[in-house]
Structure formats: structure tokens, C-alpha cells
Amino acid sequence: MNVMPRASQWEELIRPDRVHGSLYSDPAIFEAELQNIWYRTWVYVGHESEVPEANDYVVKSIGPQSVIMTRDEKGKINLLLNRCSHRGNQVCSYDKGNARSFTCPFHSWTFANDGRLVGYAFPDGYEGQDKSQLALGRVTRVESYRGFVFGSFAAEGPTLQEHLGGAAETIDRLVRTSPEGEVEITAGFLKHRVKANWKFILENECDGYHPAFVHSSIFNVAESSIGKLYGGSSTALTRDFGNGHTEVDLRPEFRKRDVPMSWFGTTADRLPDYTARMNASYGERNAREIMIDGTPHVMIFPNLFIAEIQMFVIQPLAVDDSVQHVTALQFKGAPDLNRRLRQQTMGSVGPAGFLLADDSEMYERSHRGVMARNPEWVFLGRGEKRERIDELGFKVGHVTDEVPSRGIWSHYRKLMEAR
Amino acid sequence: MLSRESSATLLGAVTEFIYKEARLQDEHQYEAWEALWTDDAIYWVPANGADIDPEKEMSIIYDNRSRIALRVRQYLTGKHFTQSPQSRLRRLVSNIELLDQQPGGDIAVGSNSMIYESSLRDDTIWAARNEYRLRHVDGELRMAYKKVTLVNNEKAIYTLSFLV
């Protein structure tokens, strides 16, 4: 029998340097996470560039719930729940499109793309009914940061800016990679399912300890320099921004190299059009700095992972069933860079990707592994004694240290203890 | 237009080639499989339908010849953990048809396949439409193009790390 833990049990399950294996495998804990995390905190849903025109829509999700992201006639972004207010049928069965309204196929109730109920069939049976009480459900709060749209089911709580906190700066850094300062999500998503708990994915995104081992096969045959970034003598850092957001900061290594576009494994002269546009937009000196530092490697809790060249969105479906939605980042005004970003992303990630096929194997083996209950704990103590506070007040450690996992669990505990 | 006899002969040779490819894939004979490709090969497994533009949208696999070679070299390291241990595989290939002739003389072929995979995760059934462009090189058939459209490629799918 699975019993939802009492508030005081969370501190027994989550210690500073270890967490209990049941946190990944107990269905009751998964249900508690839906309530306390997925249906409460800010969750990334989609990007404004996915609905560029009035009446565009795209179907997204928050956990197992289907969410329609629309741009209504006035240009406003809405996050509507894909559930007819009559008897619960899904009102939208296509992944994306352009529609002023959604008509439920069951009894022909019709909703405007801002969620209003505009009509039902045979209205004479509904004398006196106030239609405004029967709108589509919606995600209570919707906010965007630089085009990234987040939703929260909590009527009150921190603003999106407060939630992002120090991690907002990583998104600022990301959009500067575009000569026009904008990311576009236009390349379509690969959807990669794993039979594993979503937190194995969450924690792995900024785990700098695994690449040297899990990815040694591709690093060796591709003669990639990525492996060195995650080696014992690397100067790269792991960082805990608080609120569950974590980063692998590779800039110290890229700054040592001091070669623009080295972060992307190329040189500026192989991207002449991009380089010229960056110089024109930011000035040569600033453009050079941006092109040396590269894009961030940041995990925005709980589900948005920006991995230098691609973006992952983590979706939990059940305690042992998760989907990674992944696409190449595209930068407005950078067609030559974008083409290479798509090519590299397709090689690296998704169900047949050189990197992600092996990561996903680890998620699934870890999930089966924690079903064994001795030891009961997952040990996360690497680098605990050598972590320090950086100039901005965030906890940092060596790139291979488990600073990110400890940061994630510390925030997780606060969310799960809240009532 | 081929005569009926030469069409039957060609279909026989093509069928033999496709069965051989299937066997090499099922038995993880990576280098022998790689040798079936021409130098200008494209190996394409689209996502989200059959008609996407692979130059603009994400595909599950969109390999040119050098990326096919990289894929094979990764298997040969023995440290591509998703295939160590290897999936146990058997596939049935059917509905092999010669399709319209291609410009340049390549032989266009269609087939359907169903693959049973048994891996550490679980047993998984895959189904696909396959489209080939085959070519005679030094008297042997070679693949210049293979497109594998999975029936469920619009949905979230499990790791696909064997040769499909």
C-alpha cells in the first residue's frame, strides 16, 4: 500500500547529501508532486513563436493535462484546458493549426479561442443558463519571459520573474545569441518516451559527472572536444540558482579558448553571414564576447532545459512514464547558424540520438535500480565539502560536483512540505 | 518500361537485397550493413508524419553518408550503452514492390516492415513503411536512399537505438 507522506516525512526522505529511492518510484509521491509542483508552481508550456499569427494554436501540456496554447484575435496568449466544460470530451484533436473556435465533437458546444463558450446545439434546453459560467478551464496565471510562456494553476504566489530569479539571466544570455535578440521555436519536436521517473531526467540535465562515461562512445568516435569540458581538470562550474534552477556554466572553459564560436565546435569565419549580423547588432567587441561565451546549459525547474543548441521540455505522465519533447533552438536572423543547429540537434538527441539514446538508457536502468531497497538512498554528496558561494551569491562547485542535484532536492522539499 | 521477365528478375534481386539488409540489421552486423550504402547515401527516419521537410524540421534520423559511418563507429565502441547489451530483434518485411523509376536510373522500391524488439526496458513492436532507392554499383545492388516512416512517428516513442 502506498500512503502519501506526512509533511514531516519529507525531511526524512530528503537529506542534505542523499534522497530516498522511493521518491522516484512511489505512485503516491507522484500524485503528491502533481498537486504540489505541476499544478502549483510555474511550468514552461510553449513559446510565443509557435503561435505567430492571430488564431494560431498549438497543443501543449502540463504534466498529464492537455493544454491548448492559443493566440486570440486580439493577439493575447491563452492557456486553455483541452476539456469540454459540458462532459469532459477533448475539444481539440490536432497538434496545431489556426482556428477562431473549437467545437466539441460530442455535443457541438463551441468555444472561442480565448475560452469563452459561444454556443451550444439546441439552446432551448438551457433557458436561463449563464454561458460565462461554462467557459473552457484555463491555466490560472500566464506570463512570458522573452517569448517563453509559463503557466501556473495557483491564483497567488511568486511572479514568474520572482520564480526565475537568478536563472532569468541565462535566458537573457540565450536570446543574445540572435542578432535580433529573439529565439524562435520553429523546427518541430521529437517526442522521446522513457520508462522512468521524470526526476531522473531533471537531475541529469546539469549532472556534469556522467558525460565522460555515458557519452564516451560518441566523444571518442566523433573526436569531440566536449568530453574535456566535463573532465577532472575542467574549470567549468555547476551552479544552484535557487528555486530549483541549476546550471552547468561552461564559460570559464570557452573564455580560456578565447575563440568565437568555439562553444559550437566551429569558427566565426565558417559562419560569415551570422558573424556580420552579430557585429552589426552588438558592435564587434560585444559580439565577440557573446560568440565566445556561447549559449547557456540551464535547467529551469521543473521542466525547461536549455542545452546550448536545443531545448527539452520534460513531461511526466506517470511515476515511471515520462516524455522529453526536444527541438533545435533557432535564432531570429541567423539562418546559417540555424541550419547547423538543426543538423547537430538531430544527430544528438531524440529516440535515435547519439547522446540521448544513452542518457535515456541510464534513466530507465536507474528507475529499475532504485526498486532495490538496500541501500535505500541515492547518494548526492559529491563536492559537498568544496562548494562555495560565487560573486552573485549562488552556490557553485566543480563541473562534476552534485551541486545541481542538491539544489533541486532542497527546493523540491520546500514545495512538497507546503500545504 | 521493363519487360515482364526482366521486371520479375529485378524484383527477385531487390527482394533478396532487402531480406539481406533485414538480416544484417537484426543480427547487428554493423559493418556489413554499412557496406550496403552508396557514397552519396541518405538514411532518413522522419518524425511527425511522412511529408515533413527534413532540411527544416526535426527528424528522428537524417543521416548523410558520413553520419551513417559515425553511427556505425559508435556501435563498434561497445560502449553505446543503449545497445550494450544488444536488443534482440526479428523483423518481417513484406509488400515489396518496384515503384516508379527514378531520374538517374535508381530503382525505387517500397516495402512494409514489422519489427519485434526485446530489450532491457521491455518488448516493443515497431511498424514502418520503407522507401528505398537502390542502384547497381560494380554489379552489386546498393542503397542510395532509405526512408523509414514509423507508423507511430507522431507520438512519443521509446529509444530507437537499433538499426531500423
Task: Give residue-wise pLDDT tens across range A243-269.
Answer: 999 999 999 999 999 999 999 999 999
Strands A141-145 and A148-152: antiparallel
Strands A237-242 and A245-249: antiparallel
How far is the alpha carbon of B75 from chain A, nearest alpha carbon, in Å?
A: 8
Q: How far apart are CA A182 and CA A22, in angstroms?
A: 41
**pLDDT value at residue B3:** 75
Residues of B in contact with A358 (CB under 8 A): 80-82
Contact A187 B57 (CB under 8 A): yes
Nearest to B158 among A222, A351, A358 (CB): A351
How far is the alpha carbon of B110 from chain A, nearest alpha carbon, in Å?
A: 23
One-letter identity of residue A173: R
ipTM over 0.90: yes
Average pLDDT in the B14-21 region? 98
Number of H helices, E strands in chain A: 15, 24
Contact B74 A217 (CB under 8 A): yes
CA A209-A212-A217 angle, to 5 degrees, is 145
> A129 CB contacts (<8 Å, ≥6 apart)?
none
Residues of A in contact with B120 (CB under 8 A): 361, 364-365
Q: The C-alpha cell of B116 is what?
A: 519485434
Contact A358 B122 (CB under 8 A): no
Whether A107 has its CB under 8 Å from any CB of chain B: the answer is no
Whether A311 has its CB under 8 Å from any CB of chain B: the answer is no
Mutate to test the interface with A, among B30, B53, B57, B58 (most CBs of A within 10 A): B58
The answer on pLDDT for B37 being more than 80 is yes
Whether A129 has its CB under 8 Å from any CB of chain B: the answer is no
Nearest CA in chain B to A322: B156
The answer on pLDDT for A419 being more than 90 is no
Contact B154 A95 (CB under 8 A): yes
Q: How far apart are CA A91 and CA A116, in angstroms?
A: 13
Contact B159 A189 (CB under 8 A): no
Cα separation values, B137 from A131, A270, B149, Å: 70, 35, 26
| Consecutive H or E run containing B109 | strand B107-118
Q: How far apart are CA B66 and CA A358, in angstroms?
A: 21
Task: Give residue-wise pLDDT tens across range B106-163.
Answer: 999 999 999 999 999 999 999 999 999 999 999 999 999 999 999 999 999 999 999 9
Tell me the CATH number of domain B4-150, given options 3.10.450.50, 3.90.1300.10, 3.40.50.720, 3.40.50.9100: 3.10.450.50
Residues of B in contact with A326 (CB under 8 A): 58
Contact A360 B62 (CB under 8 A): no
Nearest to A361 among B56, B59, B82 (CB): B82
Strands B140-150 and B37-46: parallel
**pLDDT value at residue A2:** 56
Average pLDDT in the A300-323 region? 98
> A230 CB contacts (<8 Å, ≥6 apart)?
A208, A209, A211, A212, A236, A399, A400
Q: CB–CB of A186/A330 below 8 Å?
A: yes
Contact B157 A188 (CB under 8 A): no
Note the pTM of the prediction, 2 decimals.
Answer: 0.96
**pLDDT value at residue A225:** 85
> A419 CB contacts (<8 Å, ≥6 apart)?
A7
The answer on pLDDT for A356 being more than 50 is yes
Residues of B in contact with A214 (CB under 8 A): 81
| Consecutive H or E run containing A194 | strand A190-194
Residues of A in contact with B161 (CB under 8 A): 351-352, 357, 361
Whether A172 has its CB under 8 Å from any CB of chain B: the answer is no
How far is the alpha carbon of B107 from chain A, nearest alpha carbon, in Å?
A: 27
CB atoms within 10 A of CB B3: 8
Chain B positions with Cβ closer than 8 Å to A: 45, 47-48, 52, 55-63, 67, 70-71, 73-74, 76-82, 120-122, 154-161, 164
Mean pLDDT of chain A: 96
**pLDDT value at residue B6:** 87
Q: How far apart are CA A410 and CA A395, in angstroms?
A: 12
